[in-house]
Amino acid sequence: MLEHKIFTNGFKYIEVTNLHAQAKIALQGAHVFEYKVKDKPALLWLSSQAYFEESKAIRGGIPICFPWFGKHKEDSSLPQHGFARTTLWELVHEEELEDGSTHIRLKLSDSEETLKVWAYKFEVYLDVVVGEKLSLGLHIINNDTKAFEVSTALHTYFDISHIDNISIEGLDGCSYYDALTQTSHVQNKILQINSEVDRVYQIKENSVRLNDGSKQIGIESKGSSSIVVWNPWKEKSMAMLDMLDDGYLNMVCLETSNAREDTRIVQPTQTHSIEVVYTQS
């Protein structure tokens, strides 16, 4: 079942409920901000202070970074992580699948406003399948006469019991760029987090696992050979108005991405897709 809902301030979202799970997706940003399989804990972390307001990014869930990740390479005055996460998308398809899952498709295309900050014609579709697994596919179509570069991310915030309890497998032996020190390194063991982390890993396998005590989250990606690991730690959490001071203790971002060396060039009429499937056990 799919319901169209509106917060008291007029902010629109979709609520999906089926045999397997429930989810909530904001039309602004095509932003999945809640997903929960029946009889399992929530997969996604959402700040209790998150904004659900026009033109403001939502702190938590799965923001979409497009057409650039992080700061714009040439103009730092442009929005962090691009404009997709704060732009209204259009719901173009909804379908109940035979296995009881729900398929949602949302669309974003160029407009007078987007052309002011990114001078290309495009269409982007986000396919979301809500079921026993959560699947997302971001499909970027170049409708222009010239190639464009995209650096993207599905900026997923995972809900965790405590930052001290987690480890991340699948990154051993991978090179990474540390944005905090602006240096490059190689991961030589299972990753555990005990301080601020902001890294872009160039991964060898498209499978990463987040361990959180008895809970495990699998991350399987396509169209991506990079993953961003981020936790703001205490000082930056305290500086964020849309996050509790200790919010960093119960979240970690593992972001399927096309970042740094994994930035992609999309030729006219071509499509580039980045996909991810999340499973819980």
- Catalytic residue numbers read 155, 255
Helix, strand, coil shares of the chain, percent, nearest 5, are 10, 50, 40
Dump the DSSP string for 189-243: S-B--SS-EEEEEE-SSSEEEEEETTEEEEEEEES--EEEEEE-HHHHHHH-TTS
Contacts of 137 (CB under 8 A, 6+ apart): 125, 126, 127, 273, 274, 275
To which residue do tokens 């995972």 refer? 158
- Counting DSSP H helices and E strands in the chain, the numbers are 2, 22
What is residue 24's three-state secondary structure?
A: strand
